[in-house]
């Protein structure tokens, strides 16, 4: 018993996928080695398969009715709750982001703070986006005419490869703020912040299936998602030009809404384009009649 | 035999008392003014008592602001404005989100407090006032860092110091309607609550403390009309927002004439609730009851004039009277209570006088059998039939549980009668036909039209009046404009 030291051996976390509100391993049983920027081993992350992607779509579809049907106010409350939970796990994310992106503690802390504020920013959008992009239309006739945004459905999101946490949240939050549900493919090289975000979502009030997080080879998971007939849209942020073109071609099969990869400075306050990309506009007409003498025409 | 049956049935409906516990709220024996982040006595040491209108029990003694205190508060708000308005919107947002969350956390306490100080039923403060208060702060929190998207141009600027005077009918909700958009847009505020309901605003001051709000951003000055007048007239106030009577609103409009102060007014109303012959009667009756008996009718947008199509008048009134007979008047803290106390002796006297005037002018008065408590200020739900447009009770805002019933034959006549008022705040339309709703809504000169519903409020939805019901809108994207230099 001479090898006893004062140093306590830490407990490692097994990183798992987040699908339908549960934490499964990949059905394929595969993992891949995740390292920090210096090549030190961090974890064995699940390497998702085509089947995992399909399971995630099923979960996202199942959650869509409830989430899109919730009031915008309710969605705002839930998203704000996510920010509260993130704040509580701030230290954990600072460590994970520092490891993932090779940042100093203080730089990683700034990234995490910006990420939490980004959730708050989108939490405030849930009940405002309709007021900014919707409205009544003064048609030339006796009709009430109102255009309102509605979520498009299940959105596949390829998270940015470099910005593993701020970038991730910057592409995920706008998708669900407006009532869509999401299947997110984490940064291939740095999936751990995304997998930990799943744990945050599970302990917030976000219903299971609204966000599903997969890790693994981006190209391998993205292909079945882009071709999936029950996926309504895809954000290609995490795809390189070649892969993006391929995915856009398969996305055309059921005319998915496609957001192409573009150069984004995730530290800047975004505009509304990541929300509007995944919104439909519904216009409702109704006769207003007129106040005629008969009293029967309106 | 049948009489006995009726007796039995009504006995079956008797509820045991179900009072909400007062222990959830701790009211101090005295409160100060809230200036520059501190509670302080009035410069002249004056105080006034605030009582529970349902029992006349003194709840607390509150410092009474005077002109010197207005001076101090405006100075504090001016000083705080520089830093507050320079904060990034995202930081202001987080303060407001904190306030919204703390209100949610303390909402039962605030609901009981509001019921004690105002006299309205606990089920209203608990299920309507407080949820709306929190939601209002939550909604405007989200705007603080999105003003560029609000449609008022890029980076719209705040105005400066806002002087805000609010009424007693929804003390905390009116505070929220005033303070939330003002802070979100970067203004600082001096707010004067009504003299009969100062307590929830003072509790709000404590919420500002818990939220860590910088001192001077919110200043609360309990007091009377003289303090309100001094605040409105203060040369260093950039924005005046008032909710209250049309008479005072006009006086304020005169006071700010010739200055650069931006003014919004939310004043009286005499809302028409129009029921067509194809309306679902049971739903309409519920809407009529909500329209005029919510908050004892002390609501500026109350549906105080019922306009019913002649052909269904008898059926509707029978049904309405039956429904009124089931309303429970009494202890506002009882969870079963529908009708609470009138807010003050003064208001009760006004309602009483106007109801007597209605009788004197020839309208027919009816109230359900209703026992009034022996202490406190109470008025039984009342409806008047045979009312004409010339009657005082069809023209003046009563601000009490008194409904004036008029009839019409054609939609044109309904619209003409509905619009025949100096006011233009709200109206209701009851019909199964969508095109009729829209046609009639298009002709009504009122700021809020409820179709097949009544007294619905939401932070995203602008509220405010036409004509002498005031100008400017509170709530929604539109509500930002009142606090922006645009």
Give A71-81 pLDDT, tens digit per residue. Answer: 999 999 999 99
The distance from CA B430 to its chain's CA centroid, rounded to whole angstroms, is: 23
Q: Could you tell me the sign of the dihedral formed by the alpha carbons of B255, B264, B187, B212, in that order?
A: positive
Query: How close does chain B come to A290, measured CA to CA in Å?
Result: 5
Whether the CB of B153 is below 8 Å from some CB of chain A: the reply is no
Q: To probe the interface with A, which of B100, B102, B136, B139 has the most A CB atoms within 10 Å?
A: B139
Mean pLDDT of B412-416: 96
Whether the CB of A291 is below 8 Å from some CB of chain B: the reply is yes
Contact state of B145 with A121 under an 8 Å Cβ cutoff: yes
Question: Residues 230..269 of A with a Cβ closer than 8 Å to B: which?
Answer: 269
Residue A5 lies in a domain: no
Beta-strand pair B188-192/B58-63:
unpaired
Tokens read off for B87: 């904060």
Mean pLDDT of A166-187: 98
Q: Are residues B237 and B276 in the same domain?
A: no
Identify which of B412, B438, B460 has the shortest CB distance to residue A288.
Answer: B438
Contact state of B439 with A76 under an 8 Å Cβ cutoff: no
Give B21-65 pLDDT, tens digit per residue. Answer: 999 999 999 999 999 999 999 999 999 999 999 999 999 999 999
Name the catalytic one among B266, B397, B468, B481. B266
Q: Are residues B399 and B286 in the same domain?
A: yes
Query: How close does chain B come to A180, measured CA to CA in Å?
Result: 20
Is the pLDDT confidence value at A128 over 70? yes
Cβ–Cβ < 8 Å for B34, B77: no
Adjacency order of strands within the sheet including B30-31: B30-31, B58-63, B47-51
Whether the CB of B23 is below 8 Å from some CB of chain A: the reply is no
Measured distance CA(A121)–CA(A128) in Å, rounded: 11
Whether the CB of A124 is below 8 Å from some CB of chain B: the reply is yes
Q: Are residues B233 and B334 in the same domain?
A: no
What residue spans of B281-406 are helical by DSSP H?
281-293, 313-324, 345-360, 392-395
Q: Are residues B443 and B313 in the same domain?
A: yes
Residue B17 lies in a domain: no
Question: Which band of pLDDT confidence, cut at 50, 70 and 90, is reported for residue A4?
Answer: low
Question: Residues 54..83 of B with a Cβ closer than 8 Å to A: which?
Answer: none
Give A77's contacts in chain B (Cβ within 8 Å).
138
Search chain B and give the residue with CA nearest A117.
Answer: B90
Identify which of B146, B150, B439 has the shortest CB distance to residue A288.
Answer: B439
Residue A20 lies in a domain: no
Search chain A and give the residue with CA nearest B150.
Answer: A132
DSSP structure string for B75-111: HHHHHHHHHHHHS-HHHHHHHHHHHHHHHHHTHHHHH
Whether the CB of A73 is below 8 Å from some CB of chain B: the reply is yes
Whether the CB of B90 is below 8 Å from some CB of chain A: the reply is yes
Amino acid B7: pLDDT: 45
Search chain B and give the residue with CA nearest A133.
Answer: B149
Residue B92 lies in a domain: yes
Residue B460 lies in a domain: no
Question: Which band of pLDDT confidence, cut at 50, 70 and 90, is reported for residue B331?
Answer: very high
Cβ–Cβ < 8 Å for B362, B317: no
Mean pLDDT of B179-205: 98
Is the pLDDT confidence value at A2 over 90? no
Mean pLDDT of A38-59: 98
Residue A10 lies in a domain: no
Mean pLDDT of B66-83: 98
Residue A23 lies in a domain: no
Give A295's contacts in chain B (Cβ within 8 Å).
410-412
Amino acid B392: pLDDT: 98
Nearest alpha carbon to residue B21 among B335, B256, B363: B335
CATH value at residue A82: 3.40.605.10
Whether the CB of B384 is below 8 Å from some CB of chain A: the reply is no
Give B352-386 pLDDT, tens digit per residue. Answer: 999 999 999 999 999 999 999 999 999 999 999 99
Identify which of B90, B138, B145 has the shortest CB distance to residue A76.
Answer: B138
Residue B241 lies in a domain: yes
Amino acid B13: pLDDT: 67
Question: Which band of pLDDT confidence, cut at 50, 70 and 90, is reported for residue A1?
Answer: very low
Q: Which residue's entry shows tokens 């003194």? A: B58
Is the pLDDT confidence value at B195 over 80? yes
Whether the CB of A127 is below 8 Å from some CB of chain B: the reply is yes
Search chain B and give the residue with CA nearest A118.
Answer: B90
Amino acid B120: pLDDT: 98
Amino acid B89: pLDDT: 98
Question: Residues 128..157 of A with a Cβ closer than 8 Å to B: which?
Answer: 128, 131-132, 144
DSSP structure string for chain A: -TT--SSPPPPPP----BBTTB-PPPTT--EEEEE-TTS-EEEEEE---HHHHHHHHHHHHHHHHHHHHS-HHHHHHHHHHHHHHHHHTHHHHHHHHHHHHT--HHHHHHHHHHHHHHHHHHHTTTTTHHHHH-EE---SSSEEEEEEEEE-SEEEEE--SS-TTHHHHHHHHHHHHTT-EEEEEPPSS--HHHHHHHHHHHTTTPPTTSEEEE-S-HHHHHHHHHH-TT--EEE-TTS-HHHHHHHHHHHGGGT-EEE------TTSPP-SHHHHTTEEEEEEEEE-----SSS---
Amino acid B400: pLDDT: 98
Query: How close does chain A come to B74, measured CA to CA in Å?
Result: 31
Amino acid B216: pLDDT: 98
Contact state of A286 with B443 under an 8 Å Cβ cutoff: no
Question: How many domains does chain A divide into?
Answer: 1
Residue B382 lies in a domain: yes
Mean pLDDT of B471-481: 98
Contact state of B138 with A73 under an 8 Å Cβ cutoff: yes
Measured distance CA(B162)–CA(B74) in Å, rounded: 9
Contact state of A291 with B460 under an 8 Å Cβ cutoff: no
Amino acid A5: pLDDT: 60
Q: Are residues B135 and B199 in the same domain?
A: yes
CATH value at residue B425: 3.40.309.10
Amino acid A291: pLDDT: 67
Residue B151 lies in a domain: yes
Q: Are residues B240 and B301 in the same domain?
A: no
* Domain extent for A218: 41-287
Give B442's contacts in chain A (Cβ within 8 Å).
288
Identify which of A124, A128, A132 has the shortest CB distance to residue B93.
Answer: A124
Contact state of B438 with A124 under an 8 Å Cβ cutoff: no
Contact state of B93 with A286 under an 8 Å Cβ cutoff: no
Amino acid B4: pLDDT: 47
Amino acid A36: pLDDT: 96
Mean pLDDT of B189-206: 98
Q: Are residues B364 and B474 in the same domain?
A: no
Q: Are residues B417 and B294 in the same domain?
A: yes
Question: Residues 404..423 of B with a Cβ closer than 8 Å to A: which?
Answer: 410-412, 415
Amino acid A244: pLDDT: 98
Amino acid A296: pLDDT: 43
Count how many pairs of residues, chain A against chain B, have C-beta atoms within 8 Å: 85
Identify which of A127, A286, A293 has the shortest CB distance to residue B139.
Answer: A127
Is the pLDDT confidence value at B346 over 90? yes
Amino acid B382: pLDDT: 98
Q: Are residues B58 and B146 in the same domain?
A: yes
Q: Are residues B172 and B69 in the same domain?
A: yes
* Domain extent for B37: 22-267+467-483
Mean pLDDT of B204-226: 98
Give B8-17 pLDDT, tens digit per residue. Answer: 444 446 789 9
Contact state of B138 with A80 under an 8 Å Cβ cutoff: yes
DSSP structure string for B173-211: HHHHHHHHHHHHTT-EEEEE--TT--HHHHHHHHHHHHT
Residue B259 lies in a domain: yes
Is the pLDDT confidence value at A222 over 90? yes
Residue B2 lies in a domain: no
Question: How many domains does chain B divide into?
Answer: 2
Residue A27 lies in a domain: no
Quote the pTM value.
0.96
Give B411's contacts in chain A (Cβ within 8 Å).
291, 295, 298
Residue A24 lies in a domain: no
Mean pLDDT of B303-331: 97
Identify which of B94, B151, B415 has the shortest CB distance to residue A291.
Answer: B415
Is the pLDDT confidence value at B66 over 70? yes
Residue A3 lies in a domain: no
DSSP B165: E
Name the catalytic one among B195, B300, B397, B474. B300
Provide the terminal-to-terminal Cα distance of chain B, rounded to the nearest Å: 72
Query: How close does chain B come to A68, measured CA to CA in Å?
Result: 18
CATH value at residue B88: 3.40.605.10
Question: Residues 102..121 of A with a Cβ closer than 8 Å to B: which?
Answer: 117, 120-121
Give B309's contacts in chain A (Cβ within 8 Å).
none
Contact state of B443 with A128 under an 8 Å Cβ cutoff: no
Amino acid A6: pLDDT: 74
Give B141-165 pLDDT, tens digit per residue. Answer: 999 999 999 999 999 999 999 999 9
Q: Are residues B50 and B161 in the same domain?
A: yes
- Range in A255-269, A282-296, B321-335 the model is least confident about: A282-296
Give B151's contacts in chain A (Cβ within 8 Å).
132
Q: Are residues B243 and B277 in the same domain?
A: no
Q: Which residue's entry shows tokens 């509580």? A: A88
Q: Does the annotation count B195 as an active-site position?
A: no
How big is chain A, counted in residues?
A: 298
Q: To probe the interface with A, which of B95, B107, B146 has the most A CB atoms within 10 Å?
A: B146
Q: Does the annotation count B300 as an active-site position?
A: yes
Question: Residues 21..50 of A with a Cβ closer than 8 Å to B: which?
Answer: none
């Amino acid at each position: 018993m001479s090898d006893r030291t004062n140093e306590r051996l830490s407990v490692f976390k097994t990183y798992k996928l987040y699908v339908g509100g549960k934490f499964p391993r990949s059905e394929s049983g595969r993992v891949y080695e995740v390292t920090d920027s210096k090549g030190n081993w961090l974890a064995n992350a699940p390497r998702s398969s085509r089947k995992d992607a399909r399971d995630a779509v099923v979960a996202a579809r199942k959650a869509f009715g409830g989430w899109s049907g919730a009031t915008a106010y309710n969605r705002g409350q839930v998203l704000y709750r996510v920010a509260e939970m993130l704040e509580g796990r701030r230290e954990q994310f600072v460590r994970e982001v520092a490891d993932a992106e090779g940042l100093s503690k203080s730089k990683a802390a700034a990234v995490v703070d910006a990420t939490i504020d980004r959730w708050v920013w989108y939490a405030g959008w849930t009940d405002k986006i309709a007021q900014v992009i919707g409205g009544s239309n003064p048609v030339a006739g006796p009709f009430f005419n109102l255009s309102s945004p509605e979520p498009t459905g299940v959105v596949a999101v390829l998270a940015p490869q470099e910005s593993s946490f701020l970038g991730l949240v910057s592409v995920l939050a706008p998708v669900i703020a407006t009532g869509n549900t999401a299947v997110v493919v984490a940064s291939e090289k740095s999936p751990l912040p995304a997998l930990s975000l799943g744990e945050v979502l599970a302990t917030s009030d976000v219903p299971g299936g609204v966000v599903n997080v997969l890790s693994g080879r981006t190209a391998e998971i993205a292909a079945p998602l882009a071709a999936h007939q029950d996926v309504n849209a895809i954000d290609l942020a995490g795809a390189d030009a070649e892969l993006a073109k391929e995915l856009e071609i398969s996305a055309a099969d059921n005319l998915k809404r496609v957001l192409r990869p573009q150069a984004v400075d995730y530290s800047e306050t975004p505009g509304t384009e990541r929300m509007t990309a995944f919104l439909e506009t519904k216009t409702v007409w109704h006769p207003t009649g007129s106040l005629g003498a008969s009293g029967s025409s309106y | 035999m049948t009489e006995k049956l009726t007796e039995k049935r009504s006995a079956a409906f008797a509820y045991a008392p179900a009072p909400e516990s007062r222990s959830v709220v701790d009211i101090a024996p005295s409160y100060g003014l809230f200036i520059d982040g501190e509670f302080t006595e009035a410069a002249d040491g004056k105080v006034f008592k605030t009582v529970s209108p349902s029992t006349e029990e003194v709840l607390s003694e509150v410092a009474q602001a005077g002109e010197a205190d207005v001076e101090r508060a405006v100075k504090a708000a001016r000083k705080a404005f520089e830093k507050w308005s320079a904060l990034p919107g995202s930081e202001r947002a987080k303060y407001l989100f904190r306030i919204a969350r703390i209100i949610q956390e303390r909402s039962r306490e605030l609901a009981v407090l509001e019921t004690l100080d105002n006299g309205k039923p606990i089920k209203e403060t608990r299920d309507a006032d407080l949820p709306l208060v929190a939601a209002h702060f939550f909604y405007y929190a989200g705007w603080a860092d999105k003003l560029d998207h609000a449609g008022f141009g890029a980076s719209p600027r705040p105005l400066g110091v806002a002087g805000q005077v609010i009424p007693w009918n929804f003390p905390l909700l009116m505070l929220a309607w005033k303070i939330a958009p003002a802070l979100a847009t970067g203004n600082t505020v001096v707010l004067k609550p009504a003299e009969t309901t100062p307590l929830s605003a003072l509790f709000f001051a404590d919420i500002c403390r818990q939220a860590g709000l910088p001192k001077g951003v919110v200043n609360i000055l309990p007091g009377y009309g003289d303090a309100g007048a001094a605040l409105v007239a203060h040369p260093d106030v950039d924005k005046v927002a008032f909710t209250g009577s049309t008479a005072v609103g006009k006086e304020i409009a005169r006071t700010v004439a010739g200055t650069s102060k931006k003014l919004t007014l939310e004043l009286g109303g005499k809302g028409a609730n129009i029921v067509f012959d194809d309306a679902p009667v049971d739903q309409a009756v519920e809407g009529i009851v909500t329209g005029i008996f919510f908050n004892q009718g002390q609501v500026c947008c109350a549906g105080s004039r019922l306009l019913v199509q002649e052909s269904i008048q008898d059926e509707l009134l029978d049904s309405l009277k039956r429904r009124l007979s089931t309303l429970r008047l009494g202890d506002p803290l009882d969870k079963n209570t529908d009708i609470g106390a009138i807010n003050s002796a003064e208001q009760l006297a006004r309602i009483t006088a106007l109801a007597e005037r209605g009788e004197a002018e020839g309208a027919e008065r009816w109230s359900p059998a209703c026992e009034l408590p022996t202490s406190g200020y109470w008025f039984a739900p009342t409806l008047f039939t045979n009312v004409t447009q010339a009657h005082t009770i069809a023209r003046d805002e009563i601000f009490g549980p008194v409904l004036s019933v008029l009839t019409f034959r054609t939609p044109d006549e309904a619209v003409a009668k509905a619009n025949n008022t100096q006011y233009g705040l709200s109206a209701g339309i009851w019909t199964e036909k969508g095109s009729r709703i829209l046609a009639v809504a298009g002709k009504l000169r009122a700021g809020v039209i409820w179709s097949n519903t009544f007294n619905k409020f939401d932070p995203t939805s602008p509220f405010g009046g036409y004509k002498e019901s005031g100008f400017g809108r509170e709530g929604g994207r539109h509500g930002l404009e009142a606090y922006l230099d645009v």
